[in-house]
Structure formats: C-alpha cells, structure tokens
C-alpha cells in the first residue's frame, strides 16, 4: 500500500492511513487511505478521498463514494452500490460486483473477476474476466487533444 501524503507549505507530509482490523462502517468524509485487513467486513456509507486497499478474504460493501484507487486482494469481494472514480486493480481470485445503479469510472486491471450490473467506463487490462450483464452500461471514451471523455 502506498502511503498517503498532504502538501503543506510546498512539502509532502505523510499522513496515516485508516486501518480496519475488525468489522466496521465508514461514515462521513475520510481524506486518507483506508486499509481493510484480512477477514474484515466493511460498509462504506460515506466518502473516501484516497485509496481503498481490501486485503485477502475481506468483504466491502461500497454504498458511498470512493475518489481514489481501489485494490481488491486475492479472495476479497467488493460490491459497489455507490460510485468509484479512480483506478481499480482486481487480483487473482478477487471479485468486484458493480450493482444496478452504481457507477465505476477509471482504468481497471483485472486478473480476477468483475461483474457489471451498473455503469462502467475506462480502459480494461489484465487476464481476468469482465462480465457486462444484461441491462448494464459500458461507456466508450472519445479522445480529444490527448484527453479521453466519457458521456
């Protein structure tokens, strides 16, 4: 997990990530990385402005908003019912479910499995499986002046 930093007077100052070592709930706004340790169940009902690292055998119910990267470890399971804007990595044996009405925007590297019932947009790489289920939406980007736009 890459540490989080804040810029203070032109200097990068490390800030501690929020660690969950037992089952819990995130409410409100969290402006740092969140680490979910093995075997932990977490509900995210608030906003995370930072990375979310989900360790092996953990489960996250993402009902809120993630503005940052998501790492789904081996054997971890993440259900997105809210929204994610950022890069996503799904490890071998990891699973990401995008629920109906949920939105996931950003590049995805998938060596595990992604099942989309909602909306996703972004470039996909990796050797895993991405299933776009009936009724789901895949937004295709249009590049203009080196920037990709999704509508």
Residue 134 belongs to what domain range? 16-150
Q: Does 36 fall in a domain?
A: yes
Find the Cα–Cα–Cα–Cα dihedral 4, 72, 79, 23, rounded to 10°.
Answer: -70
Q: Does 50 fall in a domain?
A: yes
First to last CA, the chain: 32
CA angle (19, 99, 114) in 5-degree steps: 75
Domains identified in the chain, total number: 1
Q: Does 119 fall in a domain?
A: yes
Q: Does 5 fall in a domain?
A: no
Among positive and negative, which fits the CA dihedral 50, 76, 61, 125?
positive
Q: Does 79 fall in a domain?
A: yes
pLDDT grade, residue 70 (50/70/90)?
very high
Q: Does 8 fall in a domain?
A: no
The 10s digit of each residue's pLDDT in 74-126 is 999 999 999 999 999 999 999 999 999 999 999 999 999 999 999 999 889 99
Q: Does 10 fall in a domain?
A: no
Q: Does 2 fall in a domain?
A: no
Q: How many C-beta atoms lie closer than 10 Å to residue 129's C-beta? A: 13
Could you give the CA distance from residue 40 to residue 23 in angstroms, rounded to a whole number? 5
């Amino acid at each position: 997990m890459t540490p989080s930093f804040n810029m203070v007077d032109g200097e990068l100052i490390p800030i501690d990530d929020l660690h969950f070592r037992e089952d819990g709930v995130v409410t409100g706004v969290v402006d740092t990385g969140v680490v979910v340790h093995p075997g932990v169940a977490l509900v995210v009902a608030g906003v995370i402005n930072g990375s979310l690292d989900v360790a092996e055998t953990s489960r996250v119910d993402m009902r809120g908003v993630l503005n940052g990267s998501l790492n789904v470890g081996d054997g971890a399971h993440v259900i997105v019912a809210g929204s994610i804007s950022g890069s996503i990595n799904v490890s071998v044996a990891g699973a990401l479910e995008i629920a109906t009405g949920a939105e996931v925007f950003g590049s995805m590297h998938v060596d595990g499995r992604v099942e989309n019932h909602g909306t996703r947009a972004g470039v996909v790489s990796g050797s895993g499986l991405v299933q776009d289920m009936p009724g789901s939406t895949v937004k295709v980007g249009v590049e203009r002046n080196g920037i990709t736009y999704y509508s």
